[in-house]
């Protein structure tokens, strides 16, 4: 599922991995009650305020995520990336993220280090510009604000 809010600003991709399209209904005690549509709306609204054309996408398919990361690298597009479960094992996604040509900020709604042991490892973290985790949906908004503080390409 994709959504885009168009402005005249710099284009930013907000990429979401498996199960994030189920926000609001999936484990609300962990991921909060904001729906995926609410996430899209909040990212789009803040993006517009910051001068970004924000495009929010979600996939359960690893290959699609890799293609999106290639698109971002080829287009020199900043990325806010919530890899979901891909965080812990997708070396293909990690290698695609390593090809970045603009800032890439890894985000997580929950704090992986306060959860199960297998969630403590991120194969993406070492190739990301930075990581923001544990602030609920606000993790995305903090990432967009961090991108706004970066000089434009």
Per-domain residue ranges of the chain:
2-149
Active site annotation includes 108: yes
Over its length of 153 residues, how does the chain's per-residue pLDDT go in tens digits? 444 433 346 999 999 998 787 666 565 565 555 688 999 999 999 999 999 999 999 999 999 999 999 999 999 999 999 998 888 879 999 999 999 999 999 999 987 766 667 666 889 999 999 999 999 999 999 999 999 997 654
How many whole angstroms separate alpha carbon 78 and alpha carbon 73? 8
- The region, left, alpha or beta by phi > 0 then psi within -120 to 50, assigned to residue 133 is beta
User: 119 labelled as ligand-binding?
Assistant: yes
What fold characterizes domain 2-149? Rossmann fold (3.40.50)
Q: What's residue 51's pLDDT?
A: 96
How many whole angstroms separate alpha carbon 55 and alpha carbon 79? 10
User: 110 labelled as ligand-binding?
Assistant: yes
Q: Which of 31, 36, 70, 113 is catalytic?
A: 31
User: 88 labelled as ligand-binding?
Assistant: yes
Q: What's residue 62's pLDDT?
A: 96
Active site annotation includes 89: no
Q: Which of 36, 70, 91, 108 is catalytic?
A: 108
User: 8 labelled as ligand-binding?
Assistant: no
User: 19 labelled as ligand-binding?
Assistant: no
């Amino acid at each position: 599922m994709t959504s885009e809010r168009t402005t005249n600003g710099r284009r930013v991709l907000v990429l979401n991995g498996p199960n994030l399209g189920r926000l609001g209904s999936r484990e609300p005690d962990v991921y909060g009650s904001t729906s995926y549509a609410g996430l899209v709306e909040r990212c789009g609204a803040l993006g517009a305020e910051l001068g970004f054309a924000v495009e929010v996408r979600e996939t359960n398919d690893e290959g699609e995520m890799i293609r999106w990361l290639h698109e971002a690298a080829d287009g020199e597009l900043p990325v806010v990336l919530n890899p979901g479960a891909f965080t812990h094992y997708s070396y293909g996604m990690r290698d695609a993220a390593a090809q970045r040509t603009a800032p890439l900020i890894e985000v997580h709604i929950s704090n992986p280090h306060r959860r199960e042991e297998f969630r403590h490892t991120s194969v993406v973290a070492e190739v990301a510009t930075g990581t923001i985790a544990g602030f609920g949906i606000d993790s995305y908004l903090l990432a967009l604000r961090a991108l706004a503080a970066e000089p434009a390409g």
